[in-house]
Amino acid sequence: MPATAYSQLESRFRRMALLSEAAGVLHWDAAAIMPDGGAPARSEQLAELKAVVHGLMTAPDMGDLISDAEAASGDLDDWQRANLREISHQWIKSTALPEDLVVALSRACSACETVWRGARAQSDFTAVKPLLQEVLNLTREAGFAKAEATGLSLFDALLDDYEPGGRCADIDVIFGELETFLPGFLQDVLEHQAQQPAAILPEGPFPVETQKALGEKFMTALGFDFGHGRLDVSLHPFCGGIPEDVRITTRYDQDDFTSSLMGVLHETGHALYERGLPERWRRQPVGEALGMSIHESQSLLVEMQVCRSRTFLNWAAPIMRDAFSGGGPAWDIDNLHRLYTCVQPGFIRVDADEVTYPAHVILRYRLERALLGEDLSLDDLPAAWNDGMKELLGIVPANDAEGCLQDVHWYDGAWGYFPTYTLGAMTAAQLYAAARDADPGIATSIGQGDFAPLMAWLRTHVHGKARLMHAPELLTEATSRPLDPAVFKAHLQARYLP
């Protein structure tokens, strides 16, 4: 019996997914353990894999297969129809790009990311600027091609790669509401904190191996399976690999274990989402994570909503204290809670608190739109960054490592990604509130180190849904409302102005 058009598509996309998985592991290796001398060869490997995948995606008969499958879609179930929808969307965007552009962009990103590591360490934006200009030029070229194929604006076409269906018009409304709310709220929080005892940072040194062991202990408690993943070190923390082999990275500071630990917990949220995606739909577009706002919601739900809560620290603080043989007021639960909920404008996004974090994202959103629209040149980026930090947070970076060099995203080709961080924070607050409403015992369980009830709810309402529906539909189904900034603001009010 001949294979149907739809089954042929599933077979092809499985092959493409396997090749993309190999590229993902190679990318992790490059960021975590590859020697510097391997960078040129790795760049060629990744470019070739992307070229092969692009060739499979844009095969001459692919359009006919999609049309034939859509004509017979009445014979498909809900998951298959959703898969076909995702296949068609990916195909439309892929066919907009010629193979030589795909290869050139891959090579440019690999080269730029490699040089960025040294430039960041030396706080030397000029060292990486020519390579970033090449990435930006090629990104604009690819973005315009996708925009023409999809009928979207340049930025919306790039945003769609990270937030399917996301649009600047909607983000502008949400971010505008936050920009109205946060400055006054931040001032109120700072005044409130000034009346409380100052948070004390426990004194180190904190050996890296002890920090790693502590992080792994909490990862295991959350449900991370070390038979299907690992924890390593990189310049910029991230979660990569594949669902069956999830690779988390962090970075350590021997004088301060608190930042690294929260980074590990953040990336664990990403990893648990990947591991919870439906096995039946592995290596099919419908089985992939549902965009980055949902992905970030899972990491921020774990880190911000859960692991910075007093409930979590009631259980975790004694474990932290025992791990480092700590003693004295700095290790009291009240102090650790003040430390983990301390609000203070700072330069580094990944270390920012919940209240100031949206300002970091809004700044990057403004700048990348200006750069893509050619309203800002890379020559002026460092100064524009510093001006934005002064406007939004009242502080000015002392150097580019604290400013426009701190994030890997632009240097690695991720343009249009940044808005998803704050959308994810808002989504996290809404999902966690809904989970606790559905199961009031979740908070009590967390206070006892039992995260299974929360993870079970997330598996059912988020992880297991993959791309069966779009993000707004998933959130409405899980929480009985679309994304509502009021929920996030209520969370901030309750935590920081009790």
Q: In sequence order, what DSSP letters do the residues of 230-285 get, joined into one string?
A: EEEE-SS--EEEETTEEEEEE---TT-HHHHHHHHHHHHHHHHHHHHS-GGGTTSG
Phi then psi for 249, rounded to 5 degrees? Answer: -130, 155
Tokens of 229: 């993943």
CA atoms within 13 A on the CB side of 133: 12
The CA-to-CA distance between both ends of the chain, in Å, stands at 67
Specify the 3-state DSSP secondary structure of 229: strand
Name the residues annotated as catalytic: 267
Q: Are 220 and 323 in a shared domain?
A: yes
The Cα–Cα gap between 157 and 151 comes to 8
Q: What residues make up the domain containing 305?
A: 170-496
164 in a structural domain: no
CB contact at 8 A, 296 and 276: no
**pLDDT score, position 1:** 46
Q: Are 33 and 182 in a shared domain?
A: no
Q: Are 120 and 192 in a shared domain?
A: no
Q: Are 108 and 60 in a shared domain?
A: yes
Q: Are 140 and 180 in a shared domain?
A: no
Domain final residue pick, 104, 121, 151: 151
The Cα–Cα gap between 224 and 220 comes to 5
Domain final residue pick, 151, 183, 218: 151
Contact partners, residue 41, CB within 8 Å, separation at least 6: none
The count of domains in the chain is 2
Give the strand pairing for 229-233 and 245-250. parallel
**pLDDT score, position 2:** 66
CATH number of 208's domain: 1.10.1370.30
Question: Which candidate, 321, 310, 350, places its Cα nearest to that of 210?
Answer: 321
**pLDDT score, position 136:** 98
Q: Are 113 and 174 in a shared domain?
A: no
CB contact at 8 A, 99 and 51: yes
The Cα–Cα gap between 297 and 222 comes to 16
**pLDDT score, position 235:** 82
Phi then psi for 224, rounded to 5 degrees? Answer: -70, 135
Maximum C-alpha span of the chain: 76
Mean pLDDT by 10 residues, the chain (498 residues): 87 97 94 93 95 96 97 96 98 96 96 95 97 98 97 97 95 95 96 95 96 97 97 90 94 93 96 97 97 96 97 97 96 95 95 95 98 98 98 96 97 96 97 97 96 98 97 96 96 95
Q: Are 403 and 461 in a shared domain?
A: yes
